[in-house]
Amino acid sequence: MTGRLQDKVALISGAGTGIGAAAAQLFAAQGARVMVCGRRREPLEAVVAQIRAQGGVADWVQADVTDEASVDNAVAVTVERFGQLDVMINNAVNYTWGMLSALETSEWHKCLRGSLDVAFFGTRAAFRAMQGRGGSIVNLGSVAGLLGSPGLSAYGAAKAGVLNFSRAVALEGAAQKIRVNVVIPGIVWSEGTREAMRSPQIAEGTARAVPLGRIGEPEEVANAILFLASDEASYITGQSLVVDGGKTCELNVGATDYTSATSTEIRAAAQEA
């Protein structure tokens, strides 16, 4: 039985840790040849080593996905190494936390660059590489792009932009058989999440705020990305798939009093993005 991505070539950004690393390992296990990219060399090498140890095919390229030339180079290296590009996962993100009155313009622009520009650069480069053969692009959104959260005005605006950007380019790509979709994670264990939740009390409280009663695992988001990247989703484009334990479907009026929350508690709530 062949894998769900057999003979496909996938480029995954932000693939050294977290959701990106989980997606890279899952994709390779499903038959894809995987190129992982990110800013730090050591985590990328570790992910590639793990994939190869399991019999998969993978390589890595360093890239700053907030720089368009670096993204274009990552795509070019992928095509040179594997001969084609079938799947592009724009996963890397760099978010800024800050209450509006204290938010610097430079931080606002940094957040747009770290989320919205990342999706733009990656999607545009993939479009160019997929001309004439089609492909699947999955951009990573956030529940912060669907709902408001104190301290995340910049990040939420950027991720909301990713959603509509993806819808628009899905229409542009349809005639070329290039599908563009979005996976929207809720709170998921990652380096940032663990840093913000050093206190067991904060982690437990955050988990209780999720209808399924726990924080998600990177592999659970990777499974959703795999579905949209695969031919199983061949008739799906311009759509968003939320993976958040039910958080965004809940109307819970008055359950959270942000006016009395400490800055640490607000930061923990912000990690739900």
Q: What CATH number does the domain containing 41 carry?
A: 3.40.50.720
Residues composing the chain: 273
Kindly state the percentage of the chain with pLDDT values over 90: 75
CB count within 10 Å of CB 254 equals 5
Residue 270's pLDDT band (cuts 50, 70, 90): very low
Contact 192, 271 (CB under 8 A): yes
Contact 5, 87 (CB under 8 A): yes
- CB proximity list for 150: less than 8 A, separation 6 or greater: 99, 258, 261, 266, 269, 270
Contact 239, 181 (CB under 8 A): yes
- Using alpha carbons only, how large is the chain's radius of gyration in Å? 18
Could you read off the pLDDT of 66-105 as tens digits, one per residue?
A: 999 999 999 999 999 999 999 999 997 777 788 999 999 9
In angstroms, rounded to a whole number, what is the distance separating the alpha carbons of residues 216 and 198? 17
Report helix, strand or coil for 216. Answer: strand
Question: Locate tokens 């480029």: which residue?
Answer: 11
Closest by CA position to 4, among listed 123, 136, 124: 136
In angstroms, rounded to a whole number, what is the distance separating the alpha carbons of residues 50 and 164? 35
Res. 18: pLDDT tops 90:
yes
Kindly state the percentage of the chain with pLDDT values over 70: 89
Contact 75, 131 (CB under 8 A): no
Report helix, strand or coil for 231. Answer: helix
Q: Residue 141: inside a domain, yes or no?
A: yes
Nearest 5 degrees, angle CA 68-CA 73-CA 77?
155
70: containing domain: 9-272
Could you read off the pLDDT of 29-58 as tens digits, one per residue?
A: 999 999 999 999 999 999 999 999 999 999
Residue 22's pLDDT band (cuts 50, 70, 90): very high
Q: Residue 2: inside a domain, yes or no?
A: no
Q: Tell me the pTM.
A: 0.89
In angstroms, rounded to a whole number, what is the distance separating the alpha carbons of residues 231 and 112? 31
Which one of 95, 155, 235, 258 is the catalytic residue? 155
Q: Residue 73: inside a domain, yes or no?
A: yes
Res. 156: pLDDT tops 60:
yes
Look at 112-126, 166-180, 188-202 and tell me which has the smallest mean pLDDT: 188-202
Res. 266: pLDDT tops 80:
no
Integer angstrom CA distances of residue 176 from 136, 172, 257: 11, 8, 49
For the chain, give the mean pLDDT. Answer: 89
* Two structure tokens written together for 157: 């605006």
Decide if 155 is catalytic: yes
* Number of structural domains in the chain: 1
Q: Residue 92: inside a domain, yes or no?
A: yes
In angstroms, rounded to a whole number, what is the distance separating the alpha carbons of residues 174 and 171? 5
What pLDDT is attached to residue 254? 54
Q: Residue 3: inside a domain, yes or no?
A: no
Q: Residue 28: inside a domain, yes or no?
A: yes
Q: Residue 214: inside a domain, yes or no?
A: yes
* Two structure tokens written together for 261: 């929350």
Q: Residue 155: inside a domain, yes or no?
A: yes
Residue 259 vs residue 13, higher pLDDT: 13
Could you read off the pLDDT of 179-201 as tens digits, one per residue?
A: 999 999 998 887 666 666 677 77
